[in-house]
């Protein structure tokens, strides 16, 4: 039984990573919006974190981060490419480490809230919406912590006409972040609800 579940987990993880890469390849994963991207790659991360657990969220988050760092290296992202010239190490942390942590924390958030949702209904949507919200919080938080006083970010600050890091984050990702959160929260919740219902029937089938 344990081997069956281990194999099922590996298959689920591989499928979700493939979905991430396909989404990126066809342009659905990262939609350019100004210097940033509106990213829906947090959707498979949310599913992995909820269905597999924090480890699944961390692994798929790391894949997202590596794809993002590749964009920084190749010029696919204006912002991360510019920040790469300031500090390659901090840019790697920004792209990869924060996304890995986001996936891990999404799984932790879901594990906590599901304890108060015995029917597994609203907790699935809370877990799903946590992924894009944590992605924005960690990514932009690290930018403000490390890169806020760089010429590139200060030029954006002046362009938006804001006077502090919080206003800068709101001006840069306000509407974009809201759209991401709603889309991933709704779609992720629906997908996870369907998968949970399907997987809950598997032990009975295996026992039979």
- Sketch out the chain's domains with CATH numbers: 2-21+34-207 (1.10.1760.20)
Q: Model confidence at 189, in pLDDT bands (50, 70, 90)? A: confident
Cα 105 from Cα 38, distance rounded (Å): 21
Q: 């306000």: which residue's tokens? A: 174
Cα 114 from Cα 205, distance rounded (Å): 25
- Side-chain half-sphere of 144: how many Cα atoms within 13 Å? 16
Q: Model confidence at 182, in pLDDT bands (50, 70, 90)? A: confident
Cα 172 from Cα 109, distance rounded (Å): 26
Q: Are 20 and 57 in contact (CB under 8 A)?
A: no
Helix axes 98-113, 122-142, angle to 10 degrees: 150
Q: What is the pLDDT of residue 6?
A: 81
Q: What is the pLDDT of residue 35?
A: 55
Which range in 24-33, 93-102, 129-138, 155-164 is most confidently predicted, on average pLDDT?
A: 93-102
Q: What is the pLDDT of residue 18?
A: 93
Q: Model confidence at 203, in pLDDT bands (50, 70, 90)? A: very low
For the chain, the farthest-separated pair of C-alpha atoms sits apart, in whole angstroms, at 66
Of the two residues 111 and 36, the one the predictor is more confident about is: 111
Give, in order, the Cα–Cα distances in Å from 38 to each of 41, 56, 142, 163: 9, 23, 18, 24
């Amino acid at each position: 039984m344990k081997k069956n579940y281990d194999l099922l987990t590996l298959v689920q993880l591989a499928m979700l990573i493939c979905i991430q890469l396909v989404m990126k390849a066809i342009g659905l994963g990262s939609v350019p919006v100004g210097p940033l991207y509106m990213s829906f790659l947090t959707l498979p991360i949310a599913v992995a974190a909820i269905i597999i657990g924090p480890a699944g969220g961390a692994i798929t988050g790391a894949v997202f981060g590596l794809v993002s760092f590749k964009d920084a290296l190749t010029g696919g992202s204006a912002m991360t490419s510019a920040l790469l010239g300031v500090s390659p190490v901090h840019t790697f942390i920004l792209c990869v480490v924060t996304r890995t942590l986001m996936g891990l924390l999404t799984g932790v958030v879901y594990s906590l809230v599901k304890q108060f949702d015995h029917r597994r209904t609203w907790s699935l949507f809370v877990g799903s919406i946590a992924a894009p919200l944590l992605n924005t919080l960690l990514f932009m938080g690290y930018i403000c912590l490390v890169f806020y006083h760089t010429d590139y970010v200060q030029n954006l600050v002046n362009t938006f006409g804001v006077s502090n890091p919080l206003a800068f984050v709101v001006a840069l990702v306000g509407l974009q972040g809201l759209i991401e959160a709603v889309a991933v929260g709704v779609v992720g919740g629906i997908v996870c609800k369907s998968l949970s219902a399907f997987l809950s029937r598997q032990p009975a089938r295996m026992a039979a």
